[in-house]
Amino acid sequence: MNYTIRKSDRTGDQYYEIHHPSGLTVLVYPKEGFTSTYALFAANFGSICNRFVRDGREITVPDGTAHYLEHKLFESEDGDAFSKYAKTGASANAFTSFDMTGYLFQCSDKFAESLEILIDLIQSPYFTPETVAKEQGIIGQEIKMYQDNPDWCALMNLLGGLYHNHPIHTDIAGDIQSIAQITPEILYECYNSYYNLHNMLLCVAGKADPDEVLSILDEKLKPAGPFTTETIFPEEPYEVVKHYVEQKMPVAVPSFHLGFKLTKSTTELPDPKEVSTISIILDAFAGSGSKLYRELTDKGLVNASFSYDMSEGVGYGVIVFSGETHKPDEAAGYILQAVRELCREGVPADLFEEAKRSVYGQAVSVSDHPSSIASALANCFFTGREMFDSMDVTASLTLEEANEVIRHILDPDNYCLSVIRPLET
């Protein structure tokens, strides 16, 4: 079988891109010196995919269905997948995000046996009324745990303040009421709609041999028919829902999440250049060496918990600044004023060049860990990017280009402040 070799001229690393006859795309990233192998089998299906069209039918499923499906795939007629992994010594797990569902394992030996378990898990759904009902209690407890997590509550409150209609504002696991509506028929509907090999990706990184991987896939994978499912997203207004949302919880110190809703159309994927640009700008603007961070800490408005992040996907994009502080309104106001200045004047040239080096170093360091490699490959693949291209974009980006991008996508007036305050005593 022919491989496409993707190579970085900057680091010398390379990985193999393989389009398997079954329909699955396979990315194998061998790395010398690694003693373990990490495998990630991912579906381009996350919590925001709750309304779709398949075979001419429009289908809406309860919130939390993607996450529920992730839980149930570990069960089969011949036993639990975790029990099988225990016999190979592999460490296995799974996750559901807004955009993706991933099943993974890491092992130091018996890779072939572990990969076969992973493939069987993906290809052998087994849902009955009894097993589906049993899972409601388990996932219900998980939902309650997240409802007790101040950071998660602040983030979800923020997304609810930013987005009117886009399902990004809905909790990944759903709620107690929504998961009670999930049936085996709904799980099979989602599985048959999205768990098509043409809509999936296998990443293998670390101590990996593409020929060995392909040999296992040739034996185990069943050819998939064409992928025809189309996810439907509602129209989303440009403006935010509200500028402020507050919740009281049993916490010792208040916290805040200040988020900006980026300009995105309903069906638009993140632009690769924008993603790299925002990473650099944020490092220069709010990183540990920035003027903003220094002034916030000098004034006692933030502590070591202060952080920033960007989340992006189909039809949504958010920049978030967060942290613990006894003065959340004052801290957020200070950051908001600094964002207005950033959009008006841009970042200083010296901080920009320093941030470029920092972000470039972070991109290079991804290859230090098999799990980071696989995660980066999957995120890039499902958002239409090439992993090594981000290094080239970062290295070649100019200050003028970066400042123009940030002015284009960041509106200082399109924000929401989410605050968690202690319960009154």
CB atoms within 10 A of CB 415: 23
| Alpha-carbon distances of 204 from 35, 166, 195, 211, rounded to whole Å | 13, 33, 19, 12
Q: What is the mean pLDDT of residues 125-149?
A: 94
Q: What is the mean pLDDT of residues 13-20?
A: 95
Q: What is the DSSP letter of 43?
A: E
Q: Exposed e or buried b for every residue in 365-397, given b needs 16+ CB within 10 A? A: ebbebbeebbbbbbbbbbbebebbebbebbeeb
pLDDT digits (tens, 9 = 90+) for 89-104: 999 999 999 999 999 9
pLDDT digits (tens, 9 = 90+) for 341-383: 999 999 989 999 999 999 989 888 999 999 999 999 999 999 8
Q: Is the pLDDT of residue 35 over 90?
A: yes
Q: pLDDT-based confidence at 390, cuts 50/70/90?
A: confident
CATH class (in words) of the domain with range 4-231: alpha beta
Q: Is the pLDDT of residue 270 over 90?
A: no
Tokens of 239: 């403006």
Taking each helix axis as running N to C, give the angle between helix 272-286 and helix 328-345, from 0 to 180 degrees, rounded to the nearest 10.
120
Would you list the domain boundaries of the chain?
4-231, 244-422
Q: Is residue 347 classed as helix, strand or coil in its secondary structure?
A: coil
Q: What is the mean pLDDT of residues 290-297?
A: 94
| Beta strands at 4-7 and 415-422: parallel, antiparallel or unpaired | unpaired
CB 174 within 8 A of CB 112: no
pTM score of the predicted model: 0.94
CATH class (in words) of the domain with range 244-422: alpha beta
- Taking the C-alpha atoms of residue 96 and residue 106, their distance in angstroms, rounded to an integer, is 18
DSSP bridge partners of 323: 256
134 contacts: CB under 8 Å, gap ≥ 6: none
Residue of 333, 307, 359, 330 lying closest to 151 (CA atoms):
307
Which of 22-26, 30-34, 63-67 bottoms out in mean pLDDT, i.e. has the lowest?
30-34
Q: pLDDT-based confidence at 425, cuts 50/70/90?
A: low
Q: Is the pLDDT of residue 79 over 80?
A: no
Same fold, 4-231 and 244-422: yes
The sign one gets for the Cα dihedral 205, 206, 210, 215 is negative
Q: Exposed e or buried b for every residue in 236-263, given b needs 16+ CB within 10 A? A: beeebbeeebeeebeeeebbbbbbbbbe
Q: What is the mean pLDDT of residues 304-314?
A: 93
- Taking the C-alpha atoms of residue 119 and residue 69, their distance in angstroms, rounded to an integer, is 16
What is the overall mean pLDDT for the chain?
Answer: 94
CB atoms within 10 A of CB 12: 7
Q: pLDDT-based confidence at 77, cuts 50/70/90?
A: confident
Q: pLDDT-based confidence at 1, cuts 50/70/90?
A: low
- Taking the C-alpha atoms of residue 125 and residue 356, their distance in angstroms, rounded to an integer, is 46
| Beta strands at 316-324 and 244-249: parallel, antiparallel or unpaired | unpaired
Active site residues: 70
Q: pLDDT-based confidence at 38, cuts 50/70/90?
A: very high
Tell me, what's the pLDDT at 249? 96
Tell me, what's the pLDDT at 3? 83
Q: What is the mean pLDDT of residues 79-91?
A: 92
Tell me, what's the pLDDT at 56? 93
Q: What is the mean pLDDT of residues 56-61?
A: 96
The sign one gets for the Cα dihedral 339, 268, 229, 17 is negative
Q: pLDDT-based confidence at 185, cuts 50/70/90?
A: very high
Q: Is the pLDDT of residue 58 over 90?
A: yes
CB 278 within 8 A of CB 352: no
